[in-house]
């Protein structure tokens, strides 16, 4: 080898070596990262000072100076810390609101059933995902509805009932909590609608079998749901006005979450549709709901909507708030999902099209699985925001956890200087536990969907 | 819609493009394209960059819409009718320059997705078909990996297998080797040669002139959105008719 000898060709294969060990001990590296420069040193001192300033008083209030046992304000007055017996005494109220005490097994059962169905859904390795999803998203809401309200809705008119007086024609009345005229109406109306769809399918040259199957499935499931809420199970009716506390928080949050994601996906797809009408309507919907504060939405739904509806038509207050919250969060969800859709390269759409996949199959099997995986952080961000926004239903006189808590502050039996702080500390813990678990689960999901082979 | 265009039996014609024009905005990208590909015929399309080669074959399965003229694929004319488009796409496989595998699915799932979703093939049967074609492109051992774990050449072979799983009658290749490292080009071309020998009708946009010489029945040279010359490979390479063809060949055959 001539020249400067800088570059040369190895005559033997270079051995494979282990990476060099980290420099110094664990402690010396830790110290180096905390005190490396004067600036680092100052920041470290400042942080330690802040921790010392905040953590001990916090722990004192929550634990060491707190009152743990007692039955009234007298037990809490001597101590400077939290008055936990207050929470204990009000616990039932904080969880169920004014739900009748001897009926509280119903929300309990609804909670337990929800947990039992949701847990296997969240564990990726648990089997029967499809069945589980159908049970949780399809069957569970109906069961929970019947359990919580008592069911036995007095359904009177389906569609034709508004035009034809079935009572006069058929002349029979109530049995098992069912009004036969309604069900006659339902069967005749569904048959008529199915017929119209079939005629439409013939005219448009679409598949008759598909049209028939989808119509029958739709009306059968609608009928099953209606039957479940119409049947008299012998449960006492509990007005939603009596619901409160954590129960309401969960009902609003879960409904919002479960409705907003699919609706948001549809809106996002609509906004990117090539059909001008669909795109325009989606944009109008999304921008309308994003442009209005959630408080306005709730106020509007509660106090102004009745003014526009015909007399006699009256929805439940909680239901109106639920619809408002769900539509509101769907609009936000739509924009998050759209972000994910835009990140998918055009080649993916083209490859799916070239394989003969239609629009919905392309979306459901190729585009959405990738797009949603990309926006898991944004979706969960929305869920957490929604969960905390539920507390705004307070302003339309629905008492969620926080509302119930504030109502309980006025109890003179528990009037102490620390009652207020204890109550908010408790609410803070509950909200934190819920939101933090969602956030941790989201991290887990994110790692999982990103695990193998992304570009 | 499906009547024969002239006296040639329509059974024998795979693709017929008659007076096809297309514009991208103001840009006239395809100008009066007339091209007929017979069943079992292999056409190689070449030409300078921006000459409309890719647009031409993307019109065959309507990834691009033509604005004038007629395109008839396997006896089905491509119009706005979605059913016709779907029928054509099920019969026409396509391989892209950038592979476009689905990154969230394994190699096997990439191959079974369309047969199961579109043709309603059972899961087990779809996997059998997929393994058959993965064997043909000689990567059965990669079936359970994700696309990002494969080399470019392997990914492109998966893309070919994926298209073949739909049992297409025509295959379109849009510069299948242009995004590959040089050492991987051969493995993909081998798979394509194999396919050509099995009698598949193919349109290949490619500058692989060795491949063209070996398998093409018809060379199509495009420039400025027009077909400048069509010829047999022998004549095309040895005595090109058109000045523009000569210039092009002199530039790529050094």
Which of A354, A366, A369 lies closest to B89 in CB terms? Answer: A354
pLDDT value for B188: 92
**Dist CA A214 CA A112 (whole Å):** 33
Contact B146 A452 (CB under 8 A): yes
Residue B125 has pLDDT above 70, yes or no: yes
Which comes out higher in pLDDT, residue A21 or A106? A106
Task: Give B13-38 pLDDT, tens digit per residue.
Answer: 999 999 999 999 999 999 999 999 99
Is the pLDDT assigned to residue A268 strictly greater than 80? yes
Q: Per residue in A306-339, pLDDT tens?
A: 777 776 666 788 888 888 889 999 999 999 999 9
Among candidates B63, B103, B117 on the partner chain, residue whose Cβ is nearest the Cβ of A453? B103
DSSP B80: S
Query: How far is Cα A235 from Cα A103, in angstroms, rounded to an integer?
Result: 9
Stretch 177-206 of chain B: residues touching chain A, C-beta under 8 Å: none
When CB atoms are compared, the residue of B90, B103, B117 closest to A455 is: B103
Give CA–CA dist B136/B141, Å, rounded. Answer: 12
What does the pLDDT look like over A100-142, one tens digit per residue?
888 889 999 999 999 999 888 888 888 888 888 888 888 898 9
Nearest CA among A46, A227, A202 for reference residue A151? A227
A231 versus A113: which is more confidently predicted? A113
Number of alpha carbons in the 13 Å side-chain half-sphere of residue A177? 17
Contacting residues of A for B93, CB less than 8 Å apart: 354-355
Handedness of CA A340, A345, A346, A350 (dihedral sign): negative
CA B11 from chain centre, in angstroms, equals: 20
pLDDT confidence of residue A21 = 78
Q: How far is B32 from chain A (nearest CA, A)?
A: 24
Please tell me whether the interface predicted TM-score (ipTM) of this complex is above 0.95.
no
Q: Please indicate whether, in this complex, the C-beta atoms of B90 and A356 are within 8 angstroms of each other.
A: yes
A234 backbone φψ class: left, alpha, beta (φ>0; ψ -120 to 50): left
Q: Considering only residues A3 and A442, tell me which one the structure prediction assigns the higher pLDDT.
A: A442
Q: Which residues in chain B (132-171) have CB-CB distances under 8 A to chain A?
A: 145-149, 162-163, 166
- Residue A189 confidence class, pLDDT cut points 50, 70, 90: confident
d(CA A33, CA A39): 11
Residue of chain A whose Cα is closest to the Cα of B91? A356
Residues in chain A within 8 Å Cβ distance of B96: 347, 350-351, 354
Check whether A172 has a pLDDT greater than 80.
Answer: no
pLDDT, tens digit, 9 for 90 and up, residues A49-71: 999 999 999 999 988 888 888 88
Enter the tokens of residue A311: 């007399």
Task: Look at residue A301 in the predicted model and tell me its pLDDT.
Answer: 81
Half-sphere exposure of B146 (CA within 13 A, CB side): 12
Confidence category of residue A453, pLDDT binned at 50, 70, 90: very low
Three-state secondary structure readout of chain A: CCCCCCCCCCCCCCCCCCCCCCCCCHHHHHHHHHHCCHHHHHHHHHHHHHHHHHHHHHHHHHHHCCECCCCCHHHHCCCCCCEHHHHHHHHHHHHHECCCHHHCHHHHHHHHHHHHHHHHHHCCCCCCHHHHHHHHHHHHHHHHHHHHHCCCCCCCCCCHHHCCCHHHHHCCCEECCEEHHHHHHHHHHHHHHHHHHHHHHHHHCCCHHHHHHHHHHHHHHHHHHHHHHHCCCCCCCCCHHHECHHHHHHHHHHHHHHHHHHHHHHHHHHHCCCCHHHHHHHHHHHHHHHHCCHHHHHHHHHHHHHHHCCCCCCCCHHHHHHHHHHHHHHHHHHHHHHHHHHCCCHHHHHHHHHCCCCHHHHHHHHHHHHHHHHCHHHHHHHHHHHHHHHHHHHHHCCCEHHHHHHHHHCCHHHCCCCHHHHHHHHHHHHHHHHHHHHHHHHHHHHHHHCCCCCC
Give the domain ranges of chain A. Answer: 153-231
| C-alpha distance from B176 to closest chain A C-alpha (Å) | 14
C-alpha to C-alpha distance for A352 and A367, rounded to whole angstroms: 9
B18 against A206, higher pLDDT: B18
Rounded to the nearest angstrom, the minimum Cα separation between A58 and chain B is: 47
pLDDT in tens, B72-110: 999 899 998 888 898 899 999 999 999 999 999 999 999
Q: Which of A204, A355, A373 to probe the B interface (max B CBs under 10 A)?
A: A355
pLDDT of amino acid B27 = 93
What mean pLDDT comes out for the span A270-288?
A: 94
pTM score: 0.84
Summary mean pLDDT of chain B: 90
Whole-number pLDDT of residue B52: 92
* Residue A373, min C-alpha distance to chain B (Å): 9
Q: Write down the pLDDT at residue A5.
A: 64
Burial of B224 (0-12, 13-18, 19+ CB in 10 A): middle
Residue B3, pLDDT score: 45
pLDDT score of A45 more than 90: yes
**Which one of B92, B93, B117 would you mutate to disrupt binding with A, by most A Cβ within 10 Å of its Cβ?**
B117
* Tokens describing residue B149: 């774990």
Render pLDDT for B132-162 as a digit per residue (tens, 0 to 9).
Answer: 999 999 999 999 999 999 999 999 999 999 9
Nearest CA in chain A to B166: A355
Segment A179-202 mean pLDDT: 84
Q: Looking at the complex, does the CB of residue A376 fall below 8 Å from at least one CB of chain B? A: no
Checking if the pLDDT of A253 tops 60, the result is: yes
């Amino acid at each position: 080898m001539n020249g400067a000898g800088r570059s040369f060709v190895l005559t033997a294969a270079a051995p494979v070596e282990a990476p060099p060990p980290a420099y110094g001990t664990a402690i010396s590296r830790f110290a180096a990262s905390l005190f490396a420069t004067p600036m680092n040193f100052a920041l470290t001192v400042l942080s330690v000072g802040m921790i010392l300033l905040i953590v001990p008083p916090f722990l004192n209030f929550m634990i060491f100076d707190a009152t743990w046992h007692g039955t009234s304000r007298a037990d809490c007055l001597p101590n400077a810390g939290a008055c936990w017996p207050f929470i204990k005494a009000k616990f039932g109220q904080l969880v169920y609101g004014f739900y009748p005490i001897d009926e509280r097994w119903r929300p309990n059962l609804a909670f337990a059933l929800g947990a039992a169905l949701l847990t296997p859904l969240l564990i990726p390795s648990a089997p029967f995902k499809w069945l589980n999803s159908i049970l949780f998203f399809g069957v569970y809401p109906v069961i929970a509805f019947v359990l919580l309200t008592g069911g036995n809705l007095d359904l009177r008119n389906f569609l034709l009932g508004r035009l034809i007086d079935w009572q006069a024609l058929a002349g029979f009345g109530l049995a098992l909590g069912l009004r036969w005229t309604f069900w006659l109406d339902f069967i005749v109306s569904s048959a008529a609608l199915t017929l119209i769809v079939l005629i439409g399918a013939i005219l448009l040259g679409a598949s008759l079998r598909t049209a028939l199957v989808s119509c029958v499935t739709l009306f059968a499931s609608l009928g099953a749901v209606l039957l479940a809420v119409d049947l008299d199970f012998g449960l006492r009716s509990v007005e939603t006005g009596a619901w409160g506390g954590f129960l309401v928080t969960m009902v609003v949050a879960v409904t919002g979450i479960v409705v907003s994601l699919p609706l948001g996906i549809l809106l996002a797809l609509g906004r990117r549709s090539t059909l001008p009408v669909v795109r325009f309507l989606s944009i109008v919907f999304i921008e309308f709901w994003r442009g209005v504060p959630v408080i306005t939405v709730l106020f509007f739904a509660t106090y102004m909507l009745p003014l526009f509806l015909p007399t006699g038509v009256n929805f439940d207050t909680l239901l109106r708030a639920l619809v408002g919250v769900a539509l509101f969060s769907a609009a936000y969800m739509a924009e998050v999902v759209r972000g994910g859709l835009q990140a998918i390269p055009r080649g993916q759409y083209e490859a799916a099209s070239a394989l003969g996949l239609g629009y919905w199959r392309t979306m459901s099997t190729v585009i959405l699985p990738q797009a949603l995986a990309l926006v898991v952080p944004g979706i969960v961000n929305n869920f957490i925001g929604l969960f905390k926004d539920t507390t705004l239903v307070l302003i339309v006189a629905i008492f969620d956890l926080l509302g119930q808590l504030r109502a309980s502050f006025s109890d003179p039996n528990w009037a102490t200087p620390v009652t207020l702080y204890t109550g908010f500390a408790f609410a803070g813990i509950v909200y934190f536990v819920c939101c933090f678990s969602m956030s941790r689960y989201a991290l887990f999901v994110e790692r999982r969907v990103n695990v193998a082979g992304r570009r | 819609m499906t009547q024969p265009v002239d006296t040639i039996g329509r059974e024998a014609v795979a693709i017929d493009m008659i007076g096809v024009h297309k514009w991208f905005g103001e840009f006239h990208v395809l100008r009066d394209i007339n091209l007929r590909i017979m069943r079992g015929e292999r056409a190689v399309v070449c030409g300078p960059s921006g000459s409309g080669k890719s647009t031409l074959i993307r019109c065959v399965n309507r990834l691009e819409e033509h604005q004038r003229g007629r395109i008839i694929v396997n006896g089905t004319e491509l119009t706005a009718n979605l059913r016709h488009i779907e029928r054509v796409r099920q019969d026409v496989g396509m391989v892209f320059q950038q592979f476009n595998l689905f990154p969230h699915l394994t190699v096997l799932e990439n191959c079974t997705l369309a047969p199961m979703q579109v043709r309603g093939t059972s899961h087990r049967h779809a996997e059998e078909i997929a393994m058959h074609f993965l064997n043909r492109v000689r990567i059965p051992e990669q079936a359970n990996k994700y696309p990002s774990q494969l080399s470019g050449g392997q990914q492109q072979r998966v893309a070919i297998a994926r298209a073949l799983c739909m049992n297409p009658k025509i295959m379109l290749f849009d510069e299948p080797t242009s995004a590959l490292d040089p050492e991987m080009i051969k493995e993909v071309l081998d798979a394509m040669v194999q396919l050509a020998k099995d009698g598949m009708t193919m349109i290949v946009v490619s500058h692989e002139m060795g491949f063209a010489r070996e398998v093409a029945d018809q060379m199509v040279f495009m420039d400025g959105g027009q077909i400048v010359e069509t010829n047999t490979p022998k004549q095309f390479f040895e005595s090109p008719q058109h000045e523009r063809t000569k210039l092009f060949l002199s530039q790529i055959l050094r």
